[in-house]
Amino acid sequence: MDPDETGGGRRLTVSERAAAVPPALGPEAAFKILGNETRLTILDTLWAPWEPEPMAFEKLRKAVGISDGSQFNYHLKKLLDGEFVQKIDGKYAIRHAGAEVVWAVRRGYLTDHPELEPWETSGRCGTCGEPLYARYADELFFVECHACDRLHHIGPFPPTALADRTPVKALLVHDLVARTNVTLARRGICPMCNARMDRTLARDYSESPVRSFYLDEDDDRGLTAWHVCSQCGVWVSITPMEAVVDHPAVVELYREHGFDLDSVPRWELPWLVDPSNATVVTDDPLRVTVTVAVEDNELVLTLDEGFEVVDVGRTVANTGC
């Protein structure tokens, strides 16, 4: 259920929001305050979960490593003016806005640009059956088929999240995060900024509201829901197969066969990566079926316009016993 459509009250317009919360600082002024190594170090020092108490001036100055008190005071005042730091009983503490700056830096997107060479995954291309390859570049994970030159998955992953993980493990973690993002997007919530997302159902890529130079115009992804954030523009594309991967009936079918679905990336599930596995049964109202096959057992899930499951049918292949 979309929480934006429940709970009463009407949506605020952009101008109403602006009137309610006037911006204290334009983006340019904010970046001007933050574009200084000493100030970033002050924020990083104040963001210490093991030291949650506000810090006295001298203690903070020494921790940051600036000997000149008046110079240090100048930088601290800039952070106070920008409301990244607050003063409590004569001591200094980080505000949430300051913590967001620290996190933006520590996630590594701004400073680290590692790359991982393509490696062969255990997944197969739903179109041609050849192995799928994964790589990391441009702070994104790509899963693609080299044989038919088809991009199966693309998604951002923070450079620092690669630390202490093998590429295979990092990709598995990325898949779990991407599944959570799908869950949020389906409920109209932007996984990046939590603002409202708009959904467009497209029969093929030509009907999609999203254009990206990573996406191939000629690549037929079949029926896909495109969720685009009304504020930050982040988008999430969801096929009918991706919409049912966490459905209790699907999870249970895999569990019965001894598989934990969380341990298998979505692109390694043959029924999920095959665009022809979504069949439009009726147009009005829209009904789409997705078949999930595990060994001799098959689930046929029927989805409505919003990709909600409205029916689950189960068949067991005749084994001749």
For the CB of residue 229, give the shortest distance to Zn ion in the complex, in Å: 3
Single residue of 79, 125, 238, 273 touching Zn ion by CB under 5 A: 125
Binding of residue 185 to Zn ion (CB under 5 A): no
* Among the residue ranges 100-108, 117-125, 252-260, 261-269, the one whose residues contact Zn ion (CB under 5 A): 117-125
Query: How far is 109 from 314, CA to CA, in rounded Å?
Result: 45
Counting Cβ atoms within 10 Å, is residue 21 exposed (0-12), middle (13-18) or buried (19+)?
exposed
CA 17/CA 11 separation, integer angstroms: 10
Per CB under 5 A, the segment of 97-105, 133-141, 189-197, 297-305 that binds Zn ion is 189-197
For residue 169, the minimal CB distance to Zn ion (Å) is 25
Q: Closer to Zn ion by CB, 43 or 229: give it.
A: 229
Among 110, 148, 280, 281, binds Zn ion (CB under 5 A): 148
Binder among 128, 168, 280, 281 for Zn ion (CB under 5 A)? 128
The residue among 214, 129, 141, 230 whose CA lies nearest residue 177 is 141
Helices (H), the chain: 14-20, 27-34, 37-46, 57-64, 69-81, 96-106, 167-186, 240-244, 248-256, 270-273
Considering only residues 38, 86, 127, 289, which one is a binding residue for Zn ion as defined by CB under 5 A? 127
**Minimum CB separation from Zn ion for residue 244, in Å?**
23
Which listed residue (12, 104, 137, 232) binds Zn ion by CB under 5 A?
232
Give the gyration radius of the chain's Cα atoms.
25
Out of 193, 210, 261, 309, the residue judged to bind Zn ion by CB under 5 A: 193
Q: Are 291 and 277 in contact (CB under 8 A)?
A: yes
Min dist CB 302 to Zn ion, Å, is 28
229 binds Zn ion (CB under 5 A): yes
Distances (CA, A) of 131 to 150, 206, 273: 12, 28, 12
- Cα–Cα–Cα angle for 302, 216, 187, rounded to 5 degrees: 40
Q: How many residues bind Zn ion (CB under 5 A)?
A: 15
Examine residue 244 and tell whether it contacts Zn ion (CB under 5 A): no
Q: Going by C-beta distance under 8 Å and a sequence separation of 6 or more, which residues neighbour residue 218?
A: none
Contact residues: Zn ion, CB under 5 A = 125, 127-128, 130, 145, 147-148, 190, 192-193, 195, 229, 231-232, 234
